[in-house]
A and B are shown apart, each in its own frame.
Chain A
Amino acid sequence: MRTRAEARRQRWAILGFAVAILVLSFVVLKSAYYQLVLTQVLLWAVLSLAWNLLSGYSGYFSFGHAAFWGLGAYTVALGMLYFDLTPWISVPFAALVGAVAGAIIGYPTFRLRGHYFALAMLAYPLATLYVFQWLGYQELALPMKREAPLLYMQFEDPRAYVVLALGLVVAALLISLKVENSRFGMALLAIKQNEPAAEAAGINTWRWKMLALMLSGAIAAIAGGLYGVVLLVVTPETVFGMLVSAQALILALFGGVGSLWGPVIGAMLLVPLAEGLNAELGDVLPGIQGVVYGIAIIMIILWAPEGVYWRALDRLSRRSPAPHAPEPAAGTIATPVAANVAPLPRAPAPLGDDLLVLRDVGISFGGLRALDGIDLAIPEGGLYGIIGPNGAGKTTLFNVINGFLAPDPGAITLSGEPITGLRPSQVCRRGVGRTFQVVRAFPRMTVLENVIVGAFVGAPDDAAARQMALAALDRVGLSARSGAIAGGLTTRELRLMELARALVPHPKLMLLDETLAGLAHDDLDGILTVIRQLRADGITVVIIEHTMQAMVKLVDHFTVLDHGRLIASGQPNDVVRDPSVIEAYLGKKWVDRVAVPAK
């Protein structure tokens, strides 16, 4: 999330861009041809910005933005031909068509991820192309209105189209900026970097993805509508064709994917390049323009694989290194925790009613019964450990509780309310936080931003979310690192950051998945202190571990899982002596050896 000052700077930059384009159009460029090309540059920039809004921010690559572009163009063409509808009405209306199309497309397609999503998106414009051919709209020419040209957006002066297209670019840039600076953008970025973590942090990923696609579809369609007005001829191939979808993607990738200015940079460079090559070489050596264009793109990709924008940014920041906050010494970071290192009295707190209850919970993966007949009641206020050897089903149990997996059969209640089958974000909203075995950070965000993502659940507005996040960081003793990029943290810091993210919406129940794994001995104590503090603050904690040693020191109640079944439950010291537990961990042979002295 950008700071307010940065957002203000960006708005000035957008204004500056608009003025520059106007100067270019009204002062520098004289011929109608250059005005036409400039108009196209701007329209393609809008399409690419629309693409970037979905694919750049959320990481869901769309190969099918031509669907929206084409629907916009056809909305305008059909509106004018059959209803004598002026583009002044039909172009804005195209946005609505695009948004509805986005909803219809997103509903089935967001079940897919990664390459599958991208490929499925490819199908929509191709399918629509055939539909429009079948409907008999092979070639629609917008009629020339000689009586009232202005009423039908038909200007003598080509600069009028530049102004209209520029208006769209500015609007698309402002929308993108607004999205970037809100929880919307944060949610999309979180989805891009780690969708399960985002969902577990309480972000309704499906809703944000749908909103992004609808908004993106609306912007693409409105630009497509204006494209129809400018070109005056609409055919299925030119508006639904593969080249349109590719154009949206190439411009953004070239300019800098996921950045505000990337798509605009891409359009400003590539569209005139292609057209210039057509003009210079098209009649001399027909076809060579495509080859030169391709080579130019390859060269740039070699030089700037992430896009011109990011490359330029890297260059600039290398020349004048941004003032980074000085790294605090290791000692200072640990201070809040170190102060509490003295072992807390092992006081089995007075336990309340059952907070989380699992009844006969099971789940299968193919033929493997990963969980089988689990009955579990976790009382309020406890520090509850779940142990078991690798593959026992511990993480699966967490996944079932927080909604990544739906149990079959089984019922789960939280404070007496059923939560079976809810989405992870909904479970999160009801007060269940969780961390992951492998820390699921958003590596390109700062520590603070990582935690803010978790704060959106409970915060009334973005400012409050920031405050809550800072408080949570303070609680785990990570305040000093709040500005660091998550990708550069140590394991201990990552664990603490994830803990803070889960803590920020004030959960009733915390699910900690092997939070202690992979930590050095010194680091371990710090984390243990934080966990104990959670319990002291009244949060019920359930922690998974497979190393018993640390757990015996920490928890007041043990449950042991093996092969998806509960095999023992009780006080830590009793459980570790249970023969079935020893067998599960060490094999049958050891049961006898351990059992003898016990007799």
Chain B
Amino acid sequence: MNRKLTRRSVTAGLALGALASPGLGIGIARAQTKAVKIAMIAPLSGPWARQGQLLRMGSDMAVDDINSQGGIKALGGAKLEIIYADAGDSTEKAKNAAQRLLSDHPDLVGGSGAWLSSFTLAVTEVTERAQLPWLTLSYSDAITNRGFKFVFQTSPTADWQASETLPTAIKLAEAATGKRPKTIGIIQDNTASPVSFGKQLREGGGLDKVGLKPVVDQIFTPPLSDATPLVDKVRSGKPDFLLLLTSAMPDCKLVLEKLDEFKLSKGKVPLVGNGAPFGSPELLKTIGPELLEGLLFSVANWPMKGQEEFIERFKKRTGEPFLTQDGLCGYGDVAILKEALELAGAADKLKVAEAIRTMNLTTGPAAQSFPGPIKFDDKGRRQDVPMIFAQWQKGMPVTVFPTELALAKPFWPSV
């Protein structure tokens, strides 16, 4: 007993000493204004650098907004400080970035990232062990299937999106044309997220449930050199609509141009996609508004009704033509962490995590940044989230579903 106590007190003493020794004198004076640190890991270099930059634009804006509006009120107006780390182009670099952040900044109270699912999987292996609450927009189900307690997925998972996309698309088609689509064509590549999406449709009963017959079902390995064989199948199969699951822009462009060449564009075969890349400014730049017109895509998060002022500010601040999922989620994740800090009332990662687990936000900047309330289940997935659909209309990807969040009315391209 005696011995135990001694050992414990020695440990505690050492820990205290370690904590207090750097700058003991000014520690107290500063306590009032000491910034609260959060982190973001995003691909800032490499093939996904653009998405990482968009994410960063959103989170930078959120930090500025929060600090200019008086910081964290529950912490006496403490400023929020965000630390960025580059996830680069590999899971190894992403994991290293996470480990480095934790080593260099043991006082982090939360974080967000790392955009690509495989990066997020690696990063959260580190943050979970450090019990650091971590938010992510990545879709993969695996992220919140591992029984982790400190990972919170703000996007609906890939499987859920796969199961919700087709019923919603059919609803939109029926509402617009009065006719229920019977056949579907699928063109997809074999990268991670299209594969899990396609698996849900074929093996998970996603097609049977909505009674769609696949008349075209093609999987290709990127990069695509020629879309003719794929689009030729579409021409002969004549599906009621085409589900396009591509992850690389050049492939998407090839398919769309070939559809146009075969006179299947402009609504002859309505197009449905999944994921934020279908609404990126780059797609508009390379493909042009004509070929995109009418393309519908389901997505985790997209600018919605009620964000008009915010969208304008974002465009003005960044010079981007429009706001997308990445900028919105970057902003939203920081806003969630801020709310959690307010609720926790302490710059303590365990308390922040607990606050995120129990929060149920329906108003405020955090809630406004995402469709549906900010409320997480045991796995760390958001509850009661609607499936968002956006559509290219006159060179702009605008949210068209659900109606209460829509910025425009959907139309079902038909001839």
- Give the secondary structure class of B's interface: helix
A136 vs B93: C-alpha distance when bound (angstroms) = 24
Identify the closest chain A residue to B148 (Cβ): A144
**Cβ of B199 < 8 Å from any Cβ of A?**
yes
Question: CB within 8 A of B90: which of A243, A287, A290?
Answer: A243
Which residues of A are found within 8 Å of B196, using beta-carbon distances? 138
With the chains together, A75 CA to B83 CA distance in Å? 36
A contact residues around B191 at 8 Å (CB) = 133, 138
Among B93, B96, B99, B142, which residue has its beta carbon within 8 angstroms of that of A141? Answer: B142
**Interface presence of A146 (CB below 8 A):** yes
- A283–B100 Cα distance when bound, in Å, is 13
B134 to chain A, nearest CB (A): 14
Q: Which residues of B contact A275 (CB under 8 A)?
A: 96
Question: Which residues in B have their C-beta under 8 angstroms from that of A143?
Answer: 146
Interface string of B62-102 (1 = CB under 8 A from A): 00000000000000000000011110101111011101101
User: Within 8 Å of chain B (Cβ to Cβ): is A282?
Assistant: yes
CB neighbors of B among A533-583 (8 A)? none
What string of 1s and 0s marks CB contacts (under 8 Å) between B219-243 and chain A?
0010000000000000000000000
Quick one: given A34-B103, A238-B92, are A283 and B125 in contact (CB under 8 Å)? no
* Other-chain residue from A144, A156, A233, A282 in contact with B91 (beta carbon distance below 8 A): A233
CB <8 Å contact, B93 and A233: no
Q: Contacts of A136 on B, CB cut-off 8 Å?
A: 195, 199
- The tally of residues in B whose CB lies under 8 Å from a CB in A reads 41
**Which A residues between 25 and 78 are near B, CB-CB below 8 angstroms?**
31-34, 36-37, 40
Return the contact of B192 from the options A37, A139, A287 (Cβ within 8 A).
Answer: A139
CA A156 – CA B18 in complex, angstroms? 22
A289–B191 alpha-carbon span in the complex (Å): 28
Tell whether A233 pairs with B96 under 8 Å between CB atoms, given A33-B102, A144-B147. no
Interface residue from A133, A144, A278, A282 paired with B125 (Cβ < 8 Å): A144
Q: How far is the CA of A233 from the CA of B92 in the complex (A)?
A: 9
What residues on B are CB-neighbors of A235 within 8 Å? 91, 118, 192
Known A32-B99, A32-B103: A231·B221 in contact at CB below 8 Å? no
Task: Given A133-B190, A144-B146, A231-B91, answer yes or no on A283-B84 (Cβ-Cβ < 8 Å).
Answer: yes
Q: Are A139 and B117 in contact (CB under 8 A)?
A: yes
Asked if A365 is at the interface of the complex by the 8 Å CB criterion, the answer is: no
CA distance A233 to B114 in the complex (A): 14
Residue in B closest to A279 when the chains form the complex, CB atoms: B100
**What are 27 A-to-B residue pairs whose CB atoms are below 8 Å?**
A32-B99, A33-B96, A33-B102, A40-B96, A133-B191, A133-B221, A134-B190, A134-B221, A136-B195, A138-B195, A139-B118, A139-B192, A144-B148, A232-B121, A233-B91, A233-B121, A233-B122, A238-B92, A241-B90, A282-B44, A283-B85, A283-B86, A287-B44, A287-B45, A287-B49, A289-B45, A290-B45
In the complex, the answer to whether B190 meets A233 with C-beta atoms within 8 Å is: no
B140 at the interface (CB under 8 A from A): yes
B104 touches A (CB below 8 Å): yes
Question: Is B128's CB within 8 Å of the partner chain A?
Answer: yes
- Smallest CB gap from B44: residue in A: A286
7 pairs of A and B residues whose beta carbons are closest in the complex: A282-B86, A138-B192, A286-B44, A31-B103, A33-B103, A287-B45, A286-B45
Using A134-B190, A232-B121 as known contacts, list a sample of 12 further A-B pairs with CB atoms less than 8 Å apart, ordered by residue number in A. A32-B103, A33-B96, A33-B100, A136-B195, A139-B117, A141-B121, A146-B147, A231-B91, A233-B91, A233-B122, A279-B85, A283-B83
Say yes or no: B49 contacts A139, CB within 8 Å.
Answer: no
A130 contacts partner chain B, Cβ-Cβ < 8 Å: yes
B88, A232: Cβ atoms under 8 Å?
Answer: no
Mark out the residues of chain A between 463 and 479 whose CB falls within 8 Å of any chain B CB in the assembled complex: none
Q: Which residues of A contact B88 (CB under 8 A)?
A: 278, 282
Which residues in A have their C-beta under 8 angstroms from that of B100? Answer: 33, 279
- Asked if residues A278 and B93 are in contact (CB atoms below 8 Å), the reply is yes
Residue among B91, B117, B148 with max Cβ neighbours from chain A (10 Å): B91
Contacts of A139 in B (CB 8 A): 117-118, 121, 140, 142, 192
B104 shortest CB reach to chain A, Å: 7
Contact A36 B99 (CB under 8 A): yes
Chain A 130-160 residues near chain B, CB threshold 8 A: 130, 133-134, 136, 138-139, 141, 143-144, 146, 156
Task: Note all chain A residues with C-beta closer than 8 A to B45.
Answer: 282, 286-287, 289-290
Cα distance, A232 to B94, chains bound together (Å): 12
> Residues of B contacting A282 with CB < 8 Å?
44-45, 85-86, 88, 97
Nearest Cβ in chain A — how far from B12, in angstroms?
Answer: 19
Q: Is the CB of B195 within 8 A of A40?
A: no
Whole-angstrom distance between the alpha carbons of A143 and B147 in the complex?
A: 9
Q: Which B residues are in CB contact (< 8 Å) with A40?
A: 92, 96
Taking a contact as CB atoms under 8 Å apart, the answer to whether B122 and A232 are in contact is: yes
* Complex Cα–Cα for A141 and B143 (A): 9
Interface flags, A83-104, vs B, CB<8A=1, else 0: 0000000000000000000000
Taking the nearest CB of chain A, how far is it from the CB of B268, in angstroms? 31
Whether A278 contacts B122 by the Cβ 8 Å rule is no
Q: Could you tell me the distance in whole angstroms from the C-beta of B86 to the nearest C-beta in chain A?
A: 3
B266 CB, nearest partner CB in chain A, Å: 33
Given A36-B96, A144-B125, A232-B122, A238 contacting B146 (CB threshold 8 A): no
For the complex formed, measure the closest distance between the CB of A267 and the CB atoms of chain B, giving whole angstroms: 14
List, in ascending order, chain B residues with CB within 8 A of A138's CB. Answer: 190-192, 195-196
* A144-B125, A243-B90, A283-B85 given; A231·B95 CB < 8 A: yes
| Chain A minimum-CB-distance residue to B94 | A233
A286 CB contact (under 8 Å) in B49, B96, B140: B49
Interface string of A281-314 (1 = CB under 8 A from B): 0110011011000000000000000000000000
* B residues in contact with A34, CB < 8 Å: 103
B interface footprint on A221-234 (CB within 8 Å = 1, 0 otherwise):
00000000001110
CB pair B103–A231 under 8 Å, yes or no, is no
Question: Which residues of chain A are near B96, meaning CB under 8 Å?
Answer: 33, 36-37, 40, 275, 278-279
Other-chain residue from B92, B146, B148, B199 in contact with A231 (beta carbon distance below 8 A)? B92
List the B side residues contacting A141 at CB < 8 Å: 121, 142, 146
For B104, the closest partner residue in chain A by CB is A33
Task: Give the distance in Å from the alpha carbon of A38 to the alpha carbon of B222 in the complex.
Answer: 35
Contacts of B95 in A (CB 8 A): 36, 231-233
CA distance A156 to B128 in the complex (A): 12
Q: Closest CB-CB distance, B54 to chain A, in whole Å?
A: 13
Residues in A neighbouring B146, C-beta threshold 8 A = 141, 143-144
Residues of chain B within 8 A (CB-CB) of A146 are 147
Residues of chain B within 8 A of A241, CB atoms compared: 90
Q: List residues of B (146-174) whose CB comes within 8 Å of A's CBs.
A: 146-148
Residue numbers in A under 8 Å from B97 (CB-CB): 278-279, 282
Q: Are A231 and B122 in contact (CB under 8 A)?
A: yes
Tell me, in angstroms, the Cα distance from A243 to B89 when the chains sit together.
10
Instruction: Determine the chain B residues whose CB is within 8 A of the CB of A37 once the complex forms.
Output: 96
Report whether A233 and B118 are in contact in the complex, using a CB–CB cutoff of 8 Å. yes
CB contact between B44 and one of A33, A134, A283 (< 8 Å): that residue: A283
Q: Verify B86–A286 contact, CB threshold 8 A.
A: yes
Residue among A130, A279, A282 having the largest count of chain B Cβ atoms under 10 Å? A282
Q: Which residue of A lies closest to B125 (CB)?
A: A232
Minimal beta-carbon separation of A561 from chain B (angstroms): 55
- Contact bitstring B106-149, A, C-beta under 8 A = 1, else 0: 00000000000110011001001100000000001010001110
Interface bits A400-444 vs B (CB < 8 Å: 1, else 0): 000000000000000000000000000000000000000000000
Shortest Cβ distance from B196 into A: residue: A138
CA distance A233 to B94 in the complex (A): 11
Query: B34-54: which residues lie under 8 A (CB-CB) from chain A?
Result: 44-46, 49, 52
Q: B83 contacts which chain A residues (CB < 8 A)?
A: 283
Name B128's contact: one of A144, A238, A279 (CB within 8 Å). A144
Chain B CB within 10 A, most for which of A134, A143, A238, A275 = A238
